[in-house]
Amino acid sequence: LVNSVWGFLSEDSTSIVVNNNRIRDMKEDGIELKSSTSSSISGNSIRSCDNDAINLFDSSNVTIKDNTLANNDWGIYSNDVISVVVSNNTIRDMKEDGVQLKSAVLSSIIGNSIINCEGGVLLEGGLDTKIVNNTVNGNDGGGIIITASDEILIAGNMLDSNNGPGISLCVEMQEFHFNFEGAYGPGGANNELIDNVITASINAAQIHIGEGCVATVLKGN
């Protein structure tokens, strides 16, 4: 699928399977699902789209795995999602974040490689979500940034040479980076950082815990 507006667009759908496609040079998103449930996006190659490689909105029980995403604006972008699993994707050279989840509940970001993007992983307004065993290297806006989120497990991640904090927890997004506008309000409680390996963060702390965060557990980092 080459040189159109969207590669694949679906609204109000159930049990959609988008597997093993090659998508490039789209004016909008490579793959976009709106109000989708019980769907799968896997094994796709998505390159050089002017917006998101993969975009989810108002969706639940969606798996995004084993995709190769390169040279798009965002890698994986989602808003208002429940039970989304982002796993084993290779994401590199994004103009914005490799993975950005807003208002994500009961979701997981597991085993991804996120390299040389504007930002690594950004979670805003998350609840009971896991960020586990990812490799996050060489990103310009920090490695894993969590804001206004509660009950987040960040464990077993490898972060190296990110320009900004390796891992940052903050209640308001403005606290971390001037490019991030707005915030989701109260949050920053009962988060855990366990067994992460963080090296060579540039111009920032390896781990940053911002004002207003409460009941944060740091163990074995």
Phi and psi torsions of 147, nearest 5°: -135, 140
In this prediction, residue 175 carries a pLDDT of 44
Q: What is residue 112's predicted lDDT score, i.e. its pLDDT?
A: 98
CB 113 within 8 A of CB 94: no
Task: Summarize pLDDT for 167-220 with one digit per residue, the tens.
Answer: 999 887 644 443 333 344 457 899 999 999 999 898 889 999 988 899 999 999
Write 134-140 long-range contacts (CB < 8 A, 24+): 134/109, 134/110, 134/158, 135/159, 136/98, 136/160, 136/162, 137/161, 137/162, 138/162, 139/98, 139/114, 139/115, 139/163, 139/164, 140/164
Q: Say what the pLDDT of residue 173 is.
A: 60
Q: Are 41 and 75 in contact (CB under 8 A)?
A: no
Which amino acid, residue 25?
A: D
- For 14-24, what is the mean pLDDT? 97
Q: What is the pLDDT of residues 112-151, one digit of tens each?
A: 999 999 999 999 999 999 999 999 999 998 999 999 999 9
Q: What is the pLDDT of residue 182?
A: 37
Give the mean pLDDT of the chain: 92
Q: Write down the pTM of the prediction.
A: 0.93
* Spatial CA neighbour of 102 closest among 171, 51, 149, 152: 149
pLDDT at position 186, please?
Answer: 56
Buried b (16+ CB within 10 A) or exposed e, 32-58: bbeebbebbbbebbbbbbebbbbbbbb
Q: What percent of the chain has pLDDT over 70?
A: 93
DSSP state of 94: -
Tens digits of per-residue pLDDT, 29-72? 999 999 999 999 999 999 999 999 999 999 999 999 999 999 99
pLDDT value of residue 39: 97
- Is residue 79's pLDDT more than 70? yes
Residue 184, pLDDT score? 46
Q: Stretch 99-106: mean pLDDT, rounded?
A: 96
For residue 161, is pLDDT > 90? Answer: yes
| b/e map 111-124, b = 16+ CB within 10 Å | bbbbbbbbbbbbbb
pLDDT per position as a tens digit, 142-151: 999 999 999 9
Q: What is the pLDDT of residue 46?
A: 98
The yes-or-no verdict on residue 17 having pLDDT over 70 is yes
Task: For residue 52, give the nearest of 102, 124, 88 by alpha carbon.
Answer: 102
Q: What is the DSSP string of 98-146?
A: EEEEEEEES-EEES-EEESSSEEEEEES-EEEEEES-EEES-TT-SEEE
pLDDT at position 105, please?
A: 96
Task: Report the pLDDT value the prediction gives residue 176, as an integer from 0 to 100.
Answer: 47
In sequence order, the 6+-apart residues with CB closer than 8 A to the CB of 211 are 170, 171, 175
